[in-house]
């Protein structure tokens, strides 16, 4: 009997951190959400649930870590080992949804 490898996560977060000034809203959050599964985020008010969802959707830029959906890096490209907001690197496809967002385009 052969053992199959596990299916890749539909959403894969590794060490995601987010600061608002000196306040750290997210501290190295890691999470894998399997394909086809419903997942709930629960916690008290101010614990970072909405901030995490906004980072997953790239409505907020996160400061470190990575968010991947179906193994695609969300919001950032890493040409040459540097992390750039999607749309600011020379390899960016200007027709992608991330590049066409006026809130992201043009940032360094």
- Residue 26 CA, distance from chain mean position: 12
Confidence at residue 40, expressed as pLDDT on a 0 to 100 scale: 92
- Model confidence over 80-100: pLDDT tens digits? 666 666 655 454 554 444 443
Q: Please report, for residues 11, 16, 41, 65, 102, the alpha-carbon distance to residue 89 in angstroms, rounded to integers and kept in the order given.
A: 24, 22, 33, 19, 15
Split at pLDDT 50, 70, 90, the class of 62 is very high
**Residue 64: φ, ψ to 5°:** -155, 165
Instruction: Give per-residue pLDDT as tens, 4-35.
Output: 555 667 899 999 999 999 999 999 999 999 99
Question: What tokens were used for 54?
Answer: 């906004």
Q: Is this structure's pTM higher than 0.85? A: no
DSSP state of 73: E
Taking residues 55-74, what's their average pLDDT? 89
């Amino acid at each position: 009997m052969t053992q199959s490898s596990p299916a890749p996560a539909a959403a894969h977060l590794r060490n995601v951190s987010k600061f608002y000034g000196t306040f750290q809203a997210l501290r190295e959050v890691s999470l894998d959400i399997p394909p086809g599964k419903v997942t709930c985020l629960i916690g008290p008010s101010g614990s970072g649930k909405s901030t995490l969802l906004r980072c997953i959707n790239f409505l907020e830029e996160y400061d470190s870590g990575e968010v991947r959906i179906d193994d695609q890096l969300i919001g950032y490209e890493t040409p040459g080992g540097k992390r750039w907001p999607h749309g600011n690197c020379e390899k960016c496809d200007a027709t992608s949804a991330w590049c066409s967002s006026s809130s992201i385009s043009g940032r360094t």
